[in-house]
Amino acid sequence: MDKVMLRPTVLGLLLACVVSLCSSGVILDNGMPILWAHTASQVTDMPITDSILTPDPWNYLQRMSLLRLLISSTDPLMGCMGGNATDSPLWGLSLQLGWMLTSGRLADNTGATTCGLQTGDTMCISPQSWWSCVNYFTSVLPFLSAAQQGFMGPGVQVQMMVPEGVTDYCTTYTDCAAKYADPMSKWDAFFQGLKAETDPAVTDSEKKDSLLGLYWEAQTSSTHASAACNDRKTSYSSKERNFMKSWLNSAEYVSASRFQSSLERSKVFLEPLPSRILQEADVAPNIADLSLDENNTLSTFSWLDRINTLLGGSLVTMWKRAMCSFETREKGRVMMEQLMTNPGEATTNFISVVTQITKSC
Give the pLDDT score at 359: 81
Q: Considering its fold, how many domains does the chain have in total?
A: 2
CA 294 to chain centre: 18
* Cβ atoms 318, 354 nearer than 8 A: yes
Domain's final residue, options 197, 214, 235: 235
Dist CA 340 CA 216 (whole Å):
20
Residue 4 is predicted with a pLDDT of 52
Bridging pattern class, strands 32-33 and 52-53: unpaired
What are the distances in angstroms from CA 309 to CA 34, 243, 314?
A: 36, 15, 8
Q: Are residues 202 and 255 in the same domain?
A: no
- Rounded to whole angstroms, the Cα distance separating 56 from 145 reads 17
Question: Mean pLDDT, the chain, as a whole number?
Answer: 90
Are 142 and 217 in a shared domain? yes
Assess whether 12 and 129 both reside in one domain.
yes
Is it true that the peptide bond before 285 is cis, omega within 30 degrees of 0?
yes
Which pLDDT score is estimated for 309?
A: 87
Each residue's pLDDT tens digit in the chain (361 positions)? 445 544 333 344 444 444 444 444 578 999 999 999 999 999 999 999 999 999 999 999 999 999 999 999 999 999 999 989 999 999 999 999 999 999 999 999 999 999 999 999 999 999 999 999 999 999 999 999 999 999 999 999 999 999 999 999 999 999 999 999 999 999 999 999 998 867 777 888 999 999 999 999 999 999 999 999 999 999 999 999 999 999 999 999 999 999 999 999 999 999 999 999 999 999 999 999 999 999 999 999 998 888 888 888 888 899 999 999 999 999 899 888 888 887 777 677 777 878 888 887 8
Residues 22 and 100 reside in one and the same domain: yes
Query: 211 with 327, same domain?
Result: no
Residues 231 and 245 in one domain: no
274 and 210 within one domain: no
Determine the pLDDT at residue 102.
Answer: 95
**What is the extent of the structural domain holding 311?**
237-361
If asked whether residues 220 and 346 sit together in one domain, one would say no
Same domain, 269 and 315: yes
- Which of 204, 235, 266 lies at the terminal end of a domain, its last residue? 235
Render pLDDT for 145-159 as a digit per residue (tens, 0 to 9): 999 999 999 999 999
